[in-house]
């Protein structure tokens, strides 16, 4: 299966951002992509650097403008697209939601981000209610997609549960970057940790991992913070954590051919699922063992 990842920087407005994204999707389809992955909250800025109630005006319903626009593109090109949007579920109830669009333009399924961070410049708890759809892969014409979102990528439990539910691959739409004030060594440690933990999910579960991140600098609109330099570095690994393709720190369209048979071969020699001690894992449901 040919997979494309669209790594982009912020454009001046929603229309410019969406048009640039659709142009990249068309480019990917022209090169044979069957599955196109978009970054977290790809229709606009990463607005969570500040807490501002006016930002809720940008939220949208599902179905809604984004699913209609990108659904039409999926139908026209005959491809599956993984989108990401700020979902307005009800007044005062919002989610960070990934929506998977089937090649006929229909909504194959959605995933609401489960782990919600609250850190300097990443004030997501102000905006997003934790997801309530669980860790369920989304069945599509190209396979069962284990879609998770950004902060979820640090949690082995999320990856494992998707794998146990039959996901053929893990997909992480992402918005992560550096505080420009951090020293270069600290920035490198953060990037290395981000890559390493996701490669580990591929190894531990014997399935490919696709992580598509934003890129470029976005200023703090309040002026209180230093902004975020999104580090890009989108990548795809195989089921042994091997890099298949990696991006740099600029806008980029990544394409990769995934051998979906390889997961079966790897799991036969590394049968981690077989040897799990499910009888001894009860403490995992505790916050901490005092």
By annotation, the residues acting in catalysis are: 40, 113, 150
The Cβ of residue 195 has, within 10 Å, a number of other Cβ atoms equal to 17
Query: CB under 8 Å to 118, separation ≥6 — which residues?
Result: 124, 125, 126
C-alpha 3/C-alpha 37 separation (Å) is: 8
C-alpha 78/C-alpha 29 separation (Å) is: 9
C-alpha 230/C-alpha 180 separation (Å) is: 10
> What is the SS3 assignment for 10?
coil
Can you state the angle between helices 156-164 and 184-205, rounded to 10 degrees?
20
CA nearest to 83, candidates 97, 104, 63: 97
Q: What is the CA radius of gyration of the chain?
A: 18
Q: Where are the beta strands (DSSP E) in 179-281?
A: 209-213, 215-218, 228-231, 235-237, 243-246, 252-257
C-alpha 73/C-alpha 103 separation (Å) is: 9
What is the spatial order of strands in the sheet that 209-213 belongs to?
138-140, 143-147, 169-174, 209-213, 235-237, 243-246
């Amino acid at each position: 299966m040919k997979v494309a990842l669209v790594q982009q920087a912020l454009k001046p407005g929603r229309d410019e951002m969406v048009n640039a994204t659709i142009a990249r999707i068309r480019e990917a389809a022209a090169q044979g992509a069957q599955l196109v992955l978009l970054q977290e909250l790809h229709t606009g800025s990463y607005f969570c650097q500040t807490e501002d109630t006016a930002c809720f005006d940008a939220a949208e319903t599902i179905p809604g403008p984004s699913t209609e626009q990108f659904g039409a593109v999926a139908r026209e090109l005959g491809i599956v697209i993984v989108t990401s949007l700020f979902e307005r579920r009800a007044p005062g109830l919002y989610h960070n939601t990934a929506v998977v669009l089937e090649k006929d333009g229909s909504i194959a399924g959605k995933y609401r981000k489960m782990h919600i961070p609250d850190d300097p410049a990443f004030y997501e708890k102000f905006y997003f209610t934790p997801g309530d759809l669980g860790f369920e892969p989304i069945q599509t014409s190209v396979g069962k997609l284990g879609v998770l979102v950004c902060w979820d990528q640090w949690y082995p439990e999320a990856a494992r549960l998707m794998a146990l539910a039959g996901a053929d691959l893990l997909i992480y739409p992402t918005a992560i970057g550096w505080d420009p004030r951090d020293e270069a060594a600290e920035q490198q440690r953060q990037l290395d940790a981000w890559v390493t933990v996701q490669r580990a999910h591929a190894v531990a579960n014997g399935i490919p991992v696709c992580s598509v991140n934003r890129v470029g600098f976005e200023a703090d609109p309040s002026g209180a913070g230093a902004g975020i330099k999104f580090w890009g570095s989108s990548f795809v690994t195989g089921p042994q954590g091997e890099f298949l393709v990696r991006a740099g720190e600029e806008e980029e369209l990544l394409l990769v051919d995934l051998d979906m048979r390889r997961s079966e071969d790897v799991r036969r020699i590394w049968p981690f699922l077989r040897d799990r001690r499910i009888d001894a894992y009860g403490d995992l449901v505790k916050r901490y063992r005092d």
